[in-house]
Amino acid sequence: MEGDGGSEFRQWCLSQVKGAIDDDVTEADIISAVEFNHSGELLATGDRGGRIVIFQQEQESKALPQSRGEYNVYSTFQSHEPEFDYLKSLEIEEKINKIRWLPQKNAAHFLLSTNDKTIKLWKISERDKRPEGYNLKEEDGRYKDPTSVTTLRVPVFQPMDLMVEASPRRVYANAHTYHINSISVNSDNETYLSADDLRINLWHLDFTDRSFNIVDIKPTNMEELTEVITASEFHPLQCNTFVYGSSKGSVRLCDMRAAALCDRHSKLFEEPEDPSARSFFSEIISSVSDVKFSHSGRYMMTRDYLTVKIWDLNMESRPVETYQVHEYLRSKLCSLYENDCIFDKFECCWSQDDSEVMTGSYNNFFRMFGRDGQPGMTLEASWESSSPRCPLRPWRVCAGSRRNDDEIGVDCLDFSRKILHTSWHPQDGIIAMATINNLYIFQEKLN
């Protein structure tokens, strides 16, 4: 039986919903990435149309506890365009796979965004002054009579309405044969990694013309390929450590100090398989869809199809905590395989203090787990059944038909509505997640 969402859990209220609230969803509008920046003041989303929309926390209400989850559009820009690979006759989608923010180094904000092949560094800056005063023309552009100009005039900056500009500062291209699934910025703030199915490359932010390959798991004979890289992340504090998850359910930790090429892992995190639970789908559902270090750097969380696991970096043999996200789906794996849902890649995230973790599920449900081994709470991202200021009511999924209002039968779940992308504010109880084309922002109700 799932938790009641009682007093031991935080209470969540819907703060905002962004995006069109109709059923007519264009493919391009489907959100594919959600990420808060390091201060939590900015929230970026990427979509399948290659666009990025950045929301900014409303400055005035930031200090008010009940409205600190208010975010408004700050900037919108086209990050990636569709391309065509002429050599392989393949289209390269413009869909944004991942967004990662750089720690702020001056007044402007920087983020990395990637599609399947190309990573871009974007600068988002504010302009609130504009020069005025021409010598040879009026401000509206009409040319003056040159004879009327008898003295030189230097333009002067005058205040103007705030304008937010996004400009591409670097394009890191041509380093990946396979599809990029992850990017991660190093704690040294000058390098980052990008990972595709078989390789991980290390970049220096200043240089686009070279990248070092640090992991290569491509076998000499492609017929022998059995495992691919699914997710990768740098340690938040140790500049030499990174992990990568695989399609077989293992996570490898590598130390860049030991050698230039990190094909040999330092640690291998793998839970031995329970032979009684083995099925045709075992390997597929064990594939690691996301891996995230805790803020403290002591733990690591992995998400596979049915569970969230917390690992202590000092223990490779098994996770210290395992949480069932939607165990009721275990008996439905066959149909989930038929409709391809079994391949859905869910993200997961840590709370700002590492005391809770959150991940998405189907039917626009999302799951919250306190680090206590308890079954956790199921909440719904729905604008219809939530009102602001009102804490969300937890749900229960039951095997048969439902008996109460807060229950839903597993066969009534809508598998087309899924929450794959989630992000937790780095310093506060504010969470953001994407349903198919809406961005939901919830804030913790403070008593």
Partner 1 sequence: ARRCASPAGDKMAGADGDDSLYPIAVLIDELRNEDVQLRLNSIKKLSTIALALGVERTRTELLPFLTDTIYDEDEVLLALAEQLGNFTMLVGGPEYVHCLLPPLESLATVEETVVRDKAVESLRKISHEHSPVDLEVHFEPLVKRLASGDWFTSRTSACGLFSVCYPRVSSTVKAEIRQHFRNLCSDDTPMVRRAAASKLGEFAKVLELEYVKSDIISLFTALASDEQDSVRLLAVEACVSIATLLPQEDLETLVMPTLRQAAEDKSWRVRYMVADKFSELQKAVGPEITKNDLVPAFQNLLKDCEAEVRAAAANKVKEFCENLPEDSRETIIMTHILPCVKCPEVRLNIISNLDCVNEVIGIRQLSQSLLPAIVELAEDAKWRVRLAIIEYMPLLAGQLGVEFFDEKLNSLCMAWLVDHVYAIREAATCNLTKLVEKFGAEWAQNTIVPKVLGMANDPNYLHRMTTLFCINALSEACGQEITTKHMLPVVLKMSNDQVANVRFNVAKSLQKIGPVLDSNCLQAEVKPVLEKLAADQDIDVKYFAQEAVSVLALA
The binding site for partner 1 (CB under 8 A) comprises 103-108, 110, 123, 125, 127, 129, 131, 134-137, 146-147, 149-157, 165, 169, 187-190, 206, 237-240, 256-260
Minimum distance, C-beta of residue 80 to partner 1, in the bound complex (Å)? 22
Q: What is the 3-state secondary structure (H, E, C) of the chain?
A: CCCCCCCCCCCEEEEEEECCCCCCCCHHHCEEEEEECCCCCEEEEEECCCEEEEEEECCCHHHCHHHCCCEEEEEEEECCCCEEECCCCEEECCCCCEEEECCCCCCCEEEEEECCCCEEEEEEEEEEEEEECCCCECCCCCECCHHHCCCCCCCEEEEEEEEEEEEEEEEECCCCCCCCCEEEECCCCCEEEEECCCEEEEEECCCCCCCEEEEECCCCCHHHCCCCEEEEEECCCCCCEEEEEECCCCEEEEECCCCCCCCCCCEEECCCCCHHHCCCCHHHHHCCCEEEECCCCCEEEEECCCEEEEEECCCCCCCCEEEECCHHHHHHHHHHHHCCHHHCCCCEEECCCCCEEEEECECCEEEEEECCCCCCEEEECCCCCCCCCCECCCCEEECCCCCCCCEEEHHHCCCCCECCEEEECCCCCEEEEECCCCEEEEEECCC
Contact 69, 56 (CB under 8 A): no
Judge residue 94's burial from the number of C-beta atoms within 10 Å of its C-beta, 0-12 exposed, 13-18 middle, 19 or more buried.
Answer: buried
Nearer to partner 1, 85 or 263 (CB): 263
Minimum distance, C-beta of residue 152 to partner 1, in the bound complex (Å)? 6
Minimum distance, C-beta of residue 275 to partner 1, in the bound complex (Å)? 39
Minimum distance, C-beta of residue 143 to partner 1, in the bound complex (Å)? 10
Minimum distance, C-beta of residue 427 to partner 1, in the bound complex (Å)? 16
Nearer to partner 1, 124 or 291 (CB): 124
Chain-centroid distance of CA 262 in Å reads: 25
Nearer to partner 1, 128 or 273 (CB): 128
Nearer to partner 1, 150 or 314 (CB): 150
Minimum distance, C-beta of residue 424 to partner 1, in the bound complex (Å)? 23
Judge residue 362's burial from the number of C-beta atoms within 10 Å of its C-beta, 0-12 exposed, 13-18 middle, 19 or more buried.
Answer: buried
Nearer to partner 1, 134 or 328 (CB): 134
Nearer to partner 1, 239 or 398 (CB): 239
Nearer to partner 1, 127 or 403 (CB): 127
Minimum distance, C-beta of residue 236 to partner 1, in the bound complex (Å)? 12
Contact 194, 180 (CB under 8 A): yes
Nearer to partner 1, 150 or 276 (CB): 150
Minimum distance, C-beta of residue 149 to partner 1, in the bound complex (Å)? 6
Nearer to partner 1, 213 or 322 (CB): 213
Minimum distance, C-beta of residue 135 to partner 1, in the bound complex (Å)? 4
Closest CA to 200 of 169, 238, 168, 246: 246
Minimum distance, C-beta of residue 173 to partner 1, in the bound complex (Å)? 19
- Supply 71's token pair: 């975010």
Contact 422, 347 (CB under 8 A): yes
Nearer to partner 1, 168 or 375 (CB): 168
Minimum distance, C-beta of residue 259 to partner 1, in the bound complex (Å)? 5
Nearer to partner 1, 85 or 132 (CB): 132
- Supply 389's token pair: 């200021």
